[in-house]
Structure 1
Amino acid sequence: MKSVMSFPDRGPWGKSNWRGNTSGYVIKEMIEHFKPKLFVDACEGSGTSGDVCREMGIEYVGLDLHKGNDFTKDYILSQLPRPADVCFSHPPYHDMIAYSGEVYHGIREGDTSRCLSPEEFISKSQTMLLNQREAVRDNGGIYATLIGDHRGGTLGKGNFRSYQADFIQMMPKDELLSVAIKLQHNCLSDDRVYSGSFVPIMHEYLIIWKKASKSLVAVSFDIANELQKRVATTWRNVIRVVMMKLGEAKLDDIYKEVEAVASHLLGVNPNWQAKVRQQLQKHHTNVARGVWAI
C-alpha cells in the first residue's frame, strides 16, 4: 500500500452503475496491508467491500442506510460478532449525490448527502468516525474513511471545502496513521472543458487512524484540548501580523486593527480585548504607557 493510489479499472466487485462506488482495489489494498480477520464497512453501498472480502476469504460485516443501519444512531459494535480489525466508510458527501429521497423511498435522517450545510455534514461525520473507532479492537484496530473535497454551487463559483482537513482536525491527533491520495477515473466531469481559474477535483483521500486504548471520554477531551490550542495559536499569530503591519501603536489602534482582521475570532471570545492585552504582554514590547511594538 502506497500514499498515492490509481486504479483506472474499478474491478469486478460491486455494481458498476452505483454512483460514488468505491474501487474494490482500495479495499483489496487495505486488506493486503493490514491483514484483518474481520473487516467492516459502515456504508457498503453496492456491496464492493463484501465481494472483495469473500474473494479473499475475510470475515465481513456490511452495514448501510438502505439495510436499516444508521451510523449516526446505531452503535456499530453492537451489530458485530466481536470488535473489528478494520472498520471502513465511504460516506455520502454533503449534497453531491442524494442517496435517499424519491428514488430510495423517503429521505433518511442519517443520510449525510441530505445535510443542509457543510457544518451538519461534518458534525454527523464525526459521529460516524467515533462510532467506527468504538467498533474496532483496542491497541491497533484500524478505522478509515474515504473522502473527497467539495465545491458547492455552479461550476467554479461555489465555495471549496477540503473535508479531509476537517476530518483530521476533529479526530485524535495521536491516532492518525496515514493519509493516501486516490486518483479518480471515469468521472462524469472528465470530458468537460473548464475555463478561467476553475480547478477540477480529481482525487479523494483515504484517511487511516489506528486506535489506542483511550476511552471515548478521554478522546473527546483530547480533541477539545487540541482545538483550544489551535485557537490560542491563531490569536497569537493574528496579533503578531497586526503588530508587523503597525510596527508601533497605541492600544486603541491595535484594538481597531484586530477588529478589522479577526472578526471570526471575536465572535467566539467576548473578552477579546483582554486576550489582545494578554498576547501583547507575552510576546511584544511595551515601549511606553499604552504603546506596544513588535
Structure 2
Amino acid sequence: MEIHGLNDSFGELTTLISVPERGKYGNANYRGNYAGDVLGKLVSYLKRTGIQAPYIYDPMEGGKTSRDVCTALGLPYVGDDIHNGFDVVNDDFHDTGFDLTVLHYPYWNMIDYAADLPKHMQSMDMSRMDWKTFIAAVSHVNVKAAAHSRYVAVLVGDMVVKGKGYIKSIQREMAWIGAPVRHFTKVQHNAMSYRSSYKGNFIPVVTEHLLLFKTDYKPEGELWILVPGQYKKIDADNYVTWKNAIKHVTKGLEVITPEKVFERVKKQFPSKLRKTNTPEATVRRTLQELESEGFLRRKVRGFYERVS
C-alpha cells in the first residue's frame, strides 16, 4: 500500500501493514492463519537492530506459518500448539533466551480450535473461555513471553459482539509488557467474514492490531507491565454536574419551576439527590446560577424559561 510523501529510505516496515496475498507460508486452510510476510518484516527489523539470526518462538503456531518462515530464512525456531498437547496458559515454555516470541491469539468465541481434540484437552482452548478469563489468560501469556524473550509481537483482532453492534478489543484490555516499540495497524485481506451478509447498519472490521514490545526484563526477575483495562461499575451521575443535569431536564419542560425540575432530576439523575442533604435548595440555587449565566430567564418569581 503506497503512502504518499514517505521517504523510501525508512525501509519496508511502517505502522500500516498490508499483505494482500497470504503467500506460501503455512497451511492456507487453517482458519485464522496470518501472512508469513508479517513475520518476515519483523525479522528484517530485528536484523537492523543487530540481531542477525533471531531465535523465534511461537507457542500457538496453528497452521505453522511461523515455522515455515523461519525454515525459509534459516532461523532457529521453536513452535508449539494446542494440537500438540501444549497448554499455552499453564505449561512451561520449552526454552528461554528467545529474541522474538510471536503471539497470535485465537479469535475469541469465533473459531472453535479444539473441536477435533480429545475432551480432556478441549478446556485448554482459550477461545472457549468467558471474556474476563480470556483477557486474564492473554495477559498471563504476554507476561510469560516477556520473561522468556527480548521482543514480543502480539497479533490480535477486534471481535464484533453478535447482535450488539459493538466490539470487544483484546489489545485494549490485555497487559502491555515492557516498552511498546510500535502499534501497527494490519489490514485484513480475504477474511471469511467478508463473505457474510449482515443486517442493519453494520461496520465491517477490516484491520487487526500488531503490537511489538521490547521487554525490560532484568536478571533479578523484575518486569514492568501496564494493565489498561479494569472492569468496574461506576456511578455515571458523578460525571454529570448539577448544572448539566438541570440544563438537560429543562429541555422537556414548557414551564420551568423548581418543583418540576426536582421531579425530573429525581427520575433521570436519582443518585444526585442521594448525595446532598438539601436537594430542593440545590435545585433552586442551580436555577439561579443558570439565570445569571444567561441560560434561563425569570418570568415571575419561581418561574423560568429557556433563553433561545
How far has the Cα of 1:14 moved from its partner?
0.9
How far has the Cα of 1:159 moved from its partner?
4.2
Match of 1:52 in 2: 69
2:176 alignment partner, one of 171, 180, 184: 171
* SS in structure 2 at match of 1:123: helix
Query: Does 1:114 pair with 2:128?
Result: yes
Match of 1:151 in 2: 160
- Give the CA RMSD over aligned residues: 3.8
State percent identity of aligned pairs: 26
Match of 1:11 in 2: 23
1:196 alignment partner, one of 185, 200, 204: 200
Match of 1:219 in 2: 224
Q: Rate the CA distance shift 1:227–1:205 in 2: closer, same or farther, 3 A.
A: closer
Q: Rate the CA distance shift 1:201–1:58 in 2: closer, same or farther, 3 A.
A: same
Query: Does 1:26 pair with 2:38?
Result: yes
Match of 2:151 in 1: 142
Is the 8 Å Cα contact of residues 161 and 167 (structure 2) preserved in structure 1?
A: yes
Query: Does 1:72 pair with 2:77?
Result: no
Match of 1:42 in 2: 59
Q: Which moved more, 1:195-204 or 1:126-135?
A: 195-204
Structure 1 CA distance, aligned partners of 2:173 and 2:270?
26
What do residues 4-36 of structure 1 show as CA deviations (whole Å, max 9, x unaligned)?
A: 111111111111111111110111111111135
How far has the Cα of 1:258 moved from its partner?
7.5
- In structure 2, stretches of 5+ residues that fail to align are 1-12, 248-257, 259-264, 277-281, 291-308
* SS in structure 2 at match of 1:85: strand
How far has the Cα of 1:195 moved from its partner?
4.9
* SS in structure 2 at match of 1:190: helix
TM-score, structure 2 length as denominator? 0.68
Structure 2 CA distance, aligned partners of 1:16 and 1:207?
23
How far has the Cα of 1:149 moved from its partner?
0.5
Q: Rate the CA distance shift 1:240–1:94 in 2: closer, same or farther, 3 A.
A: closer
Q: Rate the CA distance shift 1:238–1:41 in 2: closer, same or farther, 3 A.
A: farther
What do residues 186-208 of structure 1 show as CA deviations (whole Å, max 9, x unaligned)?
A: 22232345453101111111012
Match of 2:211 in 1: 207
* SS in structure 2 at match of 1:29: helix
Structure 2 CA distance, aligned partners of 1:176 and 1:259?
40
Structure 2 CA distance, aligned partners of 1:257 and 1:238?
6
How many residues were matched structurally? 252
Structure 2 CA distance, aligned partners of 1:203 and 1:227?
21
What do residues 119-174 of structure 1 show as CA deviations (whole Å, max 9, x unaligned)?
A: 121111111111111111xxxx11121100001325xx45421222112xx324x6
Match of 2:117 in 1: 104
Structure 2 CA distance, aligned partners of 1:28 and 1:164?
22
How far has the Cα of 1:227 moved from its partner?
6.9
How far has the Cα of 1:217 moved from its partner?
6.1
One-letter code of the match for 2:240?
Answer: V
Q: Which has the higher contact order (CA 8 A, sep 6+)?
A: 1
- In structure 1, stretches of 5+ residues that fail to align are 261-271, 277-287
* SS in structure 2 at match of 1:196: coil
Match of 1:268 in 2: none
Structure 2 CA distance, aligned partners of 1:238 and 1:208?
39
Is the 8 Å Cα contact of residues 165 and 202 (structure 2) preserved in structure 1?
A: no
| Structure that is richer in helix per residue | 1
